[in-house]
Chain A
């Protein structure tokens, strides 16, 4: 294929982020808003790279206390035993439910870490204007957007264990300070994936279908 493929930005046409209508923005300084639904128009998400980096870094900072601080403390007459996320995975594994242990491990460790790593990779390749593996990188981005929510799993587990184990003073469970940090990681990574603009992957070339294969 020769020449550039027709993209919205090249044709001077902006697609509405809310309703998808294509329209020609009013002017270069002020793009105006979608004539159909009123959403402000833009060719690319505003400051996508900077905002995504900021959210990725904030999430990475919260990830440390989320994993080192206890998420639950089990209180009995004799003892008070705090447990972290990894501790919870080990407990599940030792209780014989390795399926659930691996689900929790994937949701709490693999997904958030993978999401941070993948977003950093996408940001770095966009910065170096890589034209390779565009299709795969776009697919990776779509995957990130769908799996991110599952990291919230441990927050729900803590909530319902705490709500049910209320046999004071014999046995009770209290939530630990790791829970809000963990929730923060999940929310920040969801916002980070939302702030990134996958069209940036395609802006530096690597045009045609199957070029990388």
Chain B
């Protein structure tokens, strides 16, 4: 099957064929027609993202182990962790919502971080095995459903709602969630799949850049 050199892309939003020029650090290539960001110059992306993902993993574990907040009223105290909320929803009969919260707040971010880290570590020694490509695709799916930042805002809103009823003390877990929001944003921003894909072994067992004898002619024909 004929394929084209990887510096030529079709814009995912408008399908225009464009050539990505070499980008300076911090530079972004945008689609000339619809403005979609096509590629960004992120030198050292693999190292930096590995460090951020490792930090995110540690903070993620902390965020899940420590209590988010403590509440005292009527001489009693209650406390909750992220999974404590999930358990309470389940106990009260809202099982579907409980499972969704567990997916969006725990499973998706955890798998997003774990898979990203695995992909980056495996990509350090190219050619990486084919499962790295599969994992990269799944990491993107989990990233889409990871809603740590939405949960953070949800916890803050519930804090305000509760503050009028009882005395609230924020716990270590809440600060960890706050840090996790920033680490996840930084991890996603510094990650560059365009740097990982060329290091993965091809599915068809053949073609490995940079030799494209057949495709170079095809690309010339399109321009």
- Taking beta carbons and an 8 Å cutoff, which residues of A are in contact with B? 5-9, 11, 13, 15, 17-26, 32-39, 88, 91-92, 95, 97, 100, 103-104, 107, 134-135, 138-139, 141-142, 149-150, 152-167, 170-171, 174-175, 179-180, 183, 187, 190, 198-199, 201-203, 207-209
Contacts and interface: CB of A to CB of B under 8 A. Distances in A.
30 contacts: A6-B16, A7-B14, A7-B16, A20-B197, A23-B1, A23-B3, A24-B218, A35-B1, A35-B206, A36-B207, A37-B133, A38-B133, A39-B137, A91-B161, A92-B160, A95-B160, A135-B33, A152-B104, A155-B154, A156-B155, A163-B87, A163-B89, A164-B71, A164-B158, A165-B78, A167-B166, A174-B92, A175-B89, A187-B100, A202-B15
In terms of DSSP, what is the predominant structure of the interface of chain B? mixed
A207 B34 CA distance: 10
Contacts of A167: 73-74, 76, 78, 166
Contacts of A97: 160
A208 to B, nearest CB: 8
Lowest 5 CB-CB distances: which A-B pairs, in order? Answer: A156-B154, A8-B10, A15-B10, A23-B3, A22-B4
Interface residues of B, number: 77
A38 B94 contact: no
Interface in B65-102: 68-69, 71, 73-74, 76, 78-80, 84-89, 92-94, 96-98, 100-101
Nearest to A156: B154
A211 B158 CA distance: 48
A9 to B, nearest CB: 6
Interface in B1-31: 1-4, 6, 8-10, 12-17
A171 B74 CA distance: 9
Contacts of B93: 175
A157 B154 contact: yes
A26 B2 CA distance: 9
Contact of B158 (A39, A150, A160, A203): A160
Q: Which of B17, B92, B204, B223 has the most CB of A within 10 A?
A: B17
A148 to B, nearest CB: 10
Contact of B15 (A38, A157, A163, A199): A199
Contacts of A163: 78, 80, 84-85, 87-89
B157 A100 contact: yes
B216 interface: no
Contacts of A34: 203
A168 to B, nearest CB: 10
A104 B88 CA distance: 23
A196 B98 CA distance: 29
B151 interface: yes
A100 B160 contact: yes
B36 interface: yes
A7 B17 contact: yes
A64 to B, nearest CB: 18
B185 interface: no
Interface in B130-172: 130, 133-134, 136-137, 144, 147, 150-151, 153-158, 160-162, 164-166
B2 A104 contact: no
B14 A199 contact: yes
Contacts of B154: 152-157, 159-160
Contacts of B155: 156, 160
Contacts of B98: 159
B48 interface: no
A107 B97 CA distance: 18
B120 interface: no
Given A92-B161, A138-B13, A13 B133 contact: no
Q: Which of A22, A139, A160, A203 has the most CB of B within 10 A?
A: A160
Given A152-B150, A155-B97, A22 B13 contact: no
A179 B101 CA distance: 11
B73 A22 contact: no
Contacts of A141: 13
